[in-house]
Amino acid sequence: MTNPLLALWTTPFGLPPFDFIRDEDYAPAVNEAIARSRANIAAITGNPDAPSFVNTIEALEMADATLNRVLSAFGTVAGADSNPAREALERDFAPLLSAYGSEVTSNKALFARVDSLWQQRDTLGLTPEQARVLMLTRRAFVRAGAQLEGDQESRMTEVKSRLAVLGTQFTQNILADERDWSMPLSDADLAQLPVFVAATARAAGQDRGASGPIVTLSRSLIVPFLQFSPNRALRQKAYEAWVARGANGTATDNREIVAETLRLREERAQLLGYANFAAYKLETEMAGTPAAVRDLLLQVWTPAREAALSDAAALESMLHADGIAGPLEAWDWRYYAEKRRKAEHDLDEAQLKPYLQLERMIEASFACATRLFGLYFTPVEAPLYHPDVRVWDVTRNGQHLAVFIGDYFARPSKQSGAWCSALQNQQRLVADLKPHVINVCNFAKPAAGEPALLSYEDARTLFHEFGHALHQMLSNVTYESISGTSVARDFVELPSQLYEHWLEVPAVLSEFATHATTGEPMPEDLLDRLLKAATYDMGFQTVEYVSSALVDLEFHDGPAPADPMQKQAEILESLGMPRAIRMRHAAPHFAHVFSGDGYSSGYYSYMWSEVMDADAFAAFEEAGNPFHATLAASLEENILSAGGSEDAAVLYARFRGRMPGVEALLKGRGLLDAA
């Protein structure tokens, strides 16, 4: 019987046939795909013709086609619907795939062909896109160690293999901690919570087979619990479990993994001739250097910290007014911040949430894309990996443009957080392949028959991830290696964070924020209060983010710390971290940084991109129309469709006419007065 992962996919749009794929199919498919990739590489290096762009670079672009197809299907289920078999496969695949990658980048004959083209680049008559792909291909080889020899080459292979294993284990440990912890709630506990939080706790208990309602470590449940539970002891218990993920002193403890990862990253950078890992990693980003990143973060840190300290004093007064002695603690902040928000802005999330239905927010994200870019979304049936997952056909002018997949609800088998990935990337090299894009979120699943309700932060997350999806769906390049989100890490968050601004457009909320029971639109006074409170508690939000970004930077900009937890504490002390605020991601559960290299030395990129997204949306505000057709067309042409075909700074300047300063970001966060 043919392995379904290797057969021709006859499903709608050529999506993976998840209804036929068994877990035992993945390993044979990966092994066969690697064998095909090796044969393709051998065909390139064995070609007797002189190297050309077509027979070397374009052939290399296509070499891993089967492997990428198999891994996209596996990566999707491993992240969003894991099980013990898939976790074991992840552990098996990590060193296997790392070894194959090292085999390719250390292939001297292959690199010689790439390098010879680089040396002749000015005489090859390349298009600008081809010249960019050649530069990026050679640079990737060099940065992977293609020019290393002997013991250094062997050691680089060992280091990368070990890092792949560590990243996989780090991720699985967090998932295990989140899956295994829960806190039961009594009827009395439940009665003190808003209806929507109580309903979510009941649904979580049913989902996990508990005897009653529970709190889990899913952000979509634990955050509202911390906001609304008046039981300080329970808040403390839940909060301490949340921040202890990956640091429980058990088999899932990530602290030694963090230490070893930092040591190996430093060694990897030094093998390539860099002073440290931050210098290596940032060389290819817009920021360029650790100093530039630090400068941006500290420009924001100072006013954010001042705002947070002022807020902390107000919240501590509320704590004392409740008859509680002692200082404000981290498990108190969200509770008193929510009470203060209601008092100062007459804004109660329990009142707000019924107007933020998941279905209506999905419609809103689609409607904005229709008005801006002429995209239409039609639900279709296709075999997916979980009953909760949904599919839409994306068209423009009646022509199929992409497939969009939404996987919105939290479950124990899903990694925490939210992300966008692609089952198929856009490219035109072999055929005009249309992108298959997936958004994965972790919203609280309602009880059967009840509507799914979002917090305003949840709604922003939905728009954020859909901004990434637009970057993929509107991609219009020839080569997959520069398609969609294949851009500098500190540029990739621009489309996603920019799209969040459309959620704040009053006309969008007026149309789509309708009550789950009555169907009535959000009252105008509530809408006004919501938008006026958009920067409420921004000191807290900025401090917890910037502290994480600075710790990430300092971990990598210098010698690897012998004790990362001590180093983390020293960094926070030097910053004057407010007592009642913790990092958004402490090292043992900092998946952005330690589950792989993606955001290592790069967590700052959200803020680097925010400087641009605040400035970019200001262009629409200056035009007096958030759906200005000319600006939308320019945004698509110069950023969303261009992928990595040009340098990120060039693309942004072409859209806006200049690079921005930090002022737009501070204004957008309501921090200018504190600067």
Cβ burial of 209 (10 Å; 0-12, 13-18, 19+) is: exposed
The mean pLDDT of 220-239, rounded to a whole number, is 96
Q: How many residues does the chain have?
A: 675
Task: Name the percent of the chain in helix, strand, coil, to the closest 5.
Answer: 60, 5, 30
Distance CA 384, CA 18 (A): 5
Q: How far apart are CA 670 and CA 675, in angstroms?
A: 10
Beta carbons within 8 Å of 114's beta carbon, 6+ residues apart: 51, 56, 57, 60, 134, 137, 138, 141
Q: Domains in the chain, ordered, with CATH? A: 12-147 (1.20.1050.40), 182-226 (no CATH)
Helices (H) and strands (E) in the chain, counts: 28, 7
Residue 675 has pLDDT above 90, yes or no: no
**Rounded alpha-carbon distances, angstroms, from residue 644 to 69, 263, 265, 666:** 21, 31, 25, 28
- Which pLDDT tens digit goes with each residue over 46-104? 999 999 999 999 999 999 999 999 999 999 999 999 999 999 999 999 999 999 999 99
DSSP assignment of 374-388: --EEEEE----SSTT
Reading the block at residue 668, the tokens are 């957008």
Question: Can you tell me the distance from the alpha carbon of 317 to that of 379, in angstroms, rounded to the nearest whole number?
Answer: 51
The mean pLDDT of 617-632, rounded to a whole number, is: 97
- Asked whether the predicted pLDDT for residue 503 surpasses 80, the reply is yes
Binned at pLDDT 50, 70 and 90, residue 350 comes out as: confident
Q: What are phi and psi of 344, to 5 degrees?
A: -90, -30
Task: Note the pLDDT tens digit of each residue in 271-328.
Answer: 999 999 999 999 999 999 999 999 999 999 999 999 999 999 999 999 999 999 989 9
Confidence label for 181 from pLDDT (cuts 50, 70 and 90): very high
**Which of the residues 61, 266, 349, 465 is marked catalytic?**
465
Is 465 one of the catalytic residues? yes
> Poorest-confidence range of 59-68, 84-93, 508-517, 528-537?
528-537
List pLDDT tens digits, range 378-404. 999 999 999 999 999 999 999 999 999
- Answer yes or no: pTM beyond 0.85: yes
Structure tokens at 609: 């991109």
CA dist., res. 659 & res. 661, Å (int): 7
Query: Average pLDDT, whole number, for the chain?
Result: 96
Core vs surface per residue 562-572: b (16+ CB within 10 A) or e = eebeebbeebb
Q: Determine the 3-state secondary structure of 441 from DSSP.
A: strand
